[in-house]
Structure 1
Amino acid sequence: MSVASSSRVSRRREPSSDAIEQDPSQMQVDEEDQQQPRQKGKGKVKQERVKQERSQAGPSQSQPEAEQEEEDFLKDFEEQPLSKLTAAKPLQGLSSDWGQVRIGVHKPAYGVLKDIAATIAEFAEGETEEKGLVHVENVMRQLLDTEAELRIHEEVLSAFQQKLMRGEEVIDVATVYTEEYKEKLADYKKKTTRQKYGGSNEYEKYREVIWEVKHPGDAMPPVTDFLPREDGDVSDDDEDVQVGGVVEDYKCPLTLKSLTDPLTSKICGHSFDATGIREWIGTKRSIPCPASGCNKELKLSDLAPNKELAKKAKEAARRERMREEDDFEEDDGEVVD
């Protein structure tokens, strides 16, 4: 058996007559393939040969024909018009991606900035407080500007998609996209400070946090009062009457205690302590909203947990306790004649 095995091995090593009759140029190619490291695939070997050919090419062949063909193909592809069949859904997906980036990045950042602003307003004093709040204000505006840019990306992509859904074609996509984005961004940058931030819900919440710390129990004035009037803003005579904020009440209208686990109505926006409102509704299908002056019908399914309100109520209760302790210490230190 061992002899037979040995003879088979020797026959494998001997060149066959077919191999001898092969074209010498083909044999040379085969030998070059065998000399390449085994871990490299055929594609890598081919790429190396192309590189060698390019390096050996003269000045008139500085750009190989294959490379030129690839550039022509890409250029033709970029100039192909988008159609409803090929691009409507991908554009919708891209627009959605921009939205996810905006929500996923900016929403948490707004919360962090509000916490920092409240801390500075409560514990810092004098110049430190002033500089700290100015810095946070600048960061807040930068975040709002960045969010506006992300929204512009969404708007441009959404406009493309709507055109395609109507059967229109979009030609030279990259150029059109860039031009429309730059145009919308330039329009945004031309806006005044009030026009950029005065209508922002996030900016209003940020201002409310600082106001509650500095002016507890007082209603906040209109948010535009914190933003300077500039050329381009409407005059006092033309401006609509701006309504200031209301005093935030962090007590449940049912239990009259501080909200610790609030549920907020998705119908009217009123909030209640979770235990209190569940007991109030009981087994009834719906009830009139217990909040004073509200005539909306309220169901248990209309209530949702409100973590942000719970956090604000907790902070408000803590600040109230600190004020009471400070008042007590001041009263205790008074000398009675």
Structure 2
Amino acid sequence: MPIRITSEEAPEAGPSRRSVPARSSPELDGEDDMIEEEGWTKETFENRSISKSTHSAIPQLRTTMDKLKEVISRIEEGLEIVKETAIALEDSQQDEPAIDEVENSFFKALDQRELLTMKIGVLEDIINQLRAGEEYSNIESSYEQLSIPRETEYLGKSKRAKYKNSKEYADFRSALWEVNHSTACPPVSQWLEKGPDDESDDDDFDVGGVTQNYRCPITLVLFEDATTSNKCGHNYSGEAIRDLVDSARKSRRPAKCPVTGCSAVLDKTDLKANPALQKRADEFARREKRREDEREEGDDTIAIEDDEEDY
């Protein structure tokens, strides 16, 4: 990722000069004299030392970080779309082979997000060093020296090492599992093959061994307008959690998260609508209704057979 920062305080850092016709004047009339106009070209650009006193350095680095964070947000939106695609395939046919390809897309998105997060971390380190008085003679080279080893180390890991503690992958597998199973989802180790360099880690992770709960902890029924707390990550029905916060405010007491064992104190600014979760809750309700209808049809068939035998 190339990074170029220039200092307005150092015009000698490589500006090019191009000739343009001079304006006509009595002194120069009839001559082809030219005047020079300053500018920058890729060929004449030169890296210059960057320090805390270079006024544009830190703001430009911050701008780059913000752009990378925007890309991460889009990747996370893509993760939800990939997960919904996998759920639809699993709903159409249990263990649909095409899910493997979708899962690989999910892995690639997780990798891209992790690499971008590393880049942001490197930029943050550079900013902190600049503030501490460090000077970079070639900031692009310094950036690569910091980022490339981290990226290489990550990409060299096995899938198990990369995704064993990933909440997103655990949610991905749990969402697929619950389509055709009523039991808790097994640990993600079931789907992540151990690499040759992985140490024995079966005892220190067991991610994914739960079933998603789509019931609001306040109303105890399925989510309506699913809403998530940015503070603790718990989910509720939108109106129910907002009413709880309002009621606590009127009573001049803290609005504690209603999930058992959670001590987070919530404000409305901590709450964010979660349409993806609501969609999954609706799909869960639809599957439960379908299973119930199938059970009822089975009971009717048995009842008819019993009547025929009695007859």
User: Under a length normalisation based on structure 2, what TM-score does the superposition of the two structures give?
Assistant: 0.73
Matched, 1:120 2:89: yes
Per-residue deviation, 1:234: 2.1
2:198 alignment partner in structure 1? 233
Cα distance in 2 for residues equivalent to 1:280 and 1:72: 60
Task: Report SS of the residue matched to 1:27.
Answer: coil
Task: Report SS of the residue matched to 1:84.
Answer: coil
Question: 1:186–1:290: structure 2 CA closer, same or farther, 3 Å change rule?
Answer: closer
Question: 1:284–1:208: structure 2 CA closer, same or farther, 3 Å change rule?
Answer: same
1:101 alignment partner in structure 2? 71
Per-residue deviation, 1:141: 1.0
Q: Of 292, 311, 326, which residue of structure 1 is paired with 2:294?
A: 326
How does 1:174-193 map onto structure 2 within 5 Å? 174-193=140-159
Matched, 1:224 2:194: no
**Bigger radius of gyration:** 1
User: Under a length normalisation based on structure 1, what TM-score does the superposition of the two structures give?
Assistant: 0.68
Amino acid at match of 1:261: D
Amino acid at match of 1:311: K
Q: Is residue 281–residue 287 contact of structure 1 (8 Å, CA) maintained in 2?
A: no
Q: Is residue 204–residue 223 contact of structure 1 (8 Å, CA) maintained in 2?
A: yes
Question: 1:303–1:182: structure 2 CA closer, same or farther, 3 Å change rule?
Answer: closer
* Percent of paired sites with the same residue: 29
2:125 alignment partner in structure 1? 159
Matched, 1:260 2:224: yes
Encode CA deviations 1:243-272: one digit per residue, 9 max, x unaligned: 653333322344443221344455655544
Question: 1:191–1:268: structure 2 CA closer, same or farther, 3 Å change rule?
Answer: closer
Q: Which has the higher helix share?
A: 1
Per-residue deviation, 1:121: 0.6
Amino acid at match of 2:181: H
Amino acid at match of 2:86: A
**Cα RMSD after superposing both structures:** 3.7
Per-residue deviation, 1:290: 8.6
How does 1:52-63 map onto structure 2 within 5 Å? none
1:84 alignment partner in structure 2? 52
Matched, 1:250 2:253: no
Cα distance in 2 for residues equivalent to 1:323 and 1:146: 38
2:251 alignment partner in structure 1? 284
Cα distance in 1 for residues equivalent to 2:228 and 2:123: 35
Cα distance in 2 for residues equivalent to 1:247 and 1:159: 39
Per-residue deviation, 1:297: 7.4
Cα distance in 2 for residues equivalent to 1:308 and 1:135: 22
Amino acid at match of 2:87: A
Q: Is residue 245–residue 255 contact of structure 2 (8 Å, CA) maintained in 1?
A: no
Task: Report SS of the residue matched to 1:333.
Answer: helix
